[in-house]
């Protein structure tokens, strides 16, 4: 089997990710079918490229390895998840060479997605102790894979503590949580409850507030949440971030229409293909 170029896989998996996000409110059979389809599609390439980084390997091949391993793990590839958990545990037991630097985000994500308080605490300490911009970004993005409401809320509370997370890093956390269908509604509820604190934190730089709103709230695909967002911001002073609110509502409208139009057709296609 010949590996397809990185740019091709990147486009394929990006579009699949969008589809899985938009149809995250569909019935479980559709969601399971999409996940299985993704697993069948990506597994052969992920297994072929493997975990090893040969000497002299070009940059895009290394990037492709991370992309494929991450996608396979996210779709439920048991062996890849098992190996990622082994590396995660070894890394946080003190062996910092256990994870190749190009795979740290993917391995951290698996550790967080399959773990609980212990794994959250380990990655959060990694964030606080990291001295590099990349290291902090990786940990915040990985924590977006949290699945327990208690831990998601704890993470969000940490993210509005200016002494811990600088304002310019907040959107890494919220965009990662927004991409997680489990965390998404918890994030929206948090925004509603803590809006005054969020506005005080980010309102001094409207670029950051605009980015926070756009990346944190644009993944929904149901009319109910769209209405809630519209009504919530209607009574707010939107100067400086009004465009972000409009983009969010327009994006959700498009997602809602797409889901309403194609859910039945998607379910039929998945069933016909054996998924």
Instruction: Kindly report, residue by residue over 202-254, the tens digit of the pLDDT.
Output: 999 999 999 999 999 999 999 999 999 999 999 899 999 999 999 999 999 99
8 A C-beta contact, residue 83 and residue 51: yes
163-172 confidence digits (pLDDT tens): 678 888 899 9
Task: Give the span between the Cα atoms of 132 and 79, in whole angstroms.
Answer: 31
Domain boundaries, the chain: 1-114, 150-275
Per-residue pLDDT of the chain (275 residues; tens, 9 = 90+): 556 689 999 999 999 999 999 999 999 999 999 999 999 999 999 999 999 999 999 899 999 999 999 999 999 999 999 999 999 999 999 999 999 999 999 999 999 999 999 999 999 999 999 999 899 999 999 999 999 999 999 999 999 886 678 888 899 999 999 999 999 999 999 999 999 999 999 999 999 999 999 999 999 999 999 999 999 999 899 999 999 999 999 999 999 999 999 999 999 999 999 99
- Structure tokens, 68: 């494929």
- Return the closest-CA partner of residue 202 out of 215, 216, 212, 191: 212
pLDDT (0 to 100) of residue 3: 63
pLDDT (0 to 100) of residue 161: 83
- Structure tokens, 245: 């609110």
Instruction: Give, for 253, the enclosing helix (H) or strand (E).
Output: helix 242-272
Task: Give the span between the Cα atoms of 221 and 208, in whole angstroms.
Answer: 24
Task: Give the span between the Cα atoms of 173 and 182, in whole angstroms.
Answer: 14
- The CA-atom distances, in angstroms, between 88 and each of 44, 128, 201, 254 are 23, 18, 33, 38
In degrees, to the nearest 5, what angle opens at C-alpha 247 toward C-alphas 244 and 252? 125
8 A C-beta contact, residue 165 and residue 210: no
Q: Would you state the CATH architecture of domain 150-275? A: Alpha Horseshoe (1.25)
The whole-model pTM stands at 0.94
Residue with tokens 């394929």: 12
Task: Give the span between the Cα atoms of 111 and 245, in whole angstroms.
Answer: 34
Task: Give the span between the Cα atoms of 237 and 265, in whole angstroms.
Answer: 41
């Amino acid at each position: 089997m010949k590996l397809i170029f990185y740019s091709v896989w990147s486009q394929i998996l990006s579009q699949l990710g969008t589809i899985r996000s938009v149809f995250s409110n569909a019935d479980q059979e559709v969601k399971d079918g999409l996940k299985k389809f993704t697993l069948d599609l990506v597994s052969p390439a992920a297994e072929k490229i493997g975990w090893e980084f040969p000497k002299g390997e070009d940059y895009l091949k290394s990037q492709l390895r991370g992309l494929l391993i991450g996608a396979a793990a996210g779709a439920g590839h048991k062996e890849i998840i098992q190996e990622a958990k082994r590396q995660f545990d070894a890394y946080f037991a003190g062996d910092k060479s256990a994870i190749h630097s190009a795979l740290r985000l993917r391995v951290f994500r698996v550790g967080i997605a399959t773990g609980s308080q212990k794994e959250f605490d380990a990655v959060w300490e990694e964030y606080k102790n990291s001295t590099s911009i990349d290291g902090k970004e990786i940990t915040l993005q990985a924590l977006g894979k949290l699945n327990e409401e208690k831990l998601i809320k704890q993470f969000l509370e940490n993210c509005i503590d200016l002494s811990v997370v600088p304002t310019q890093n907040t959107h890494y956390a919220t965009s990662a949580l927004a991409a997680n269908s489990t965390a998404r509604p918890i994030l929206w509820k948090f925004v509603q409850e803590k809006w005054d604190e969020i506005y005080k934190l980010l309102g001094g730089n409207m670029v950051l507030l605009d980015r926070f709103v756009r990346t944190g709230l644009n993944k929904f695909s149901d009319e109910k949440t769209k209405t809630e967002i519209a009504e919530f911001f209607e009574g707010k002073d939107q100067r400086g971030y009004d465009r972000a609110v409009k983009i969010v509502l327009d994006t959700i409208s498009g997602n809602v229409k797409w889901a309403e139009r194609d859910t039945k057709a998607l379910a039929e296609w998945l069933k016909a293909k054996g998924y």
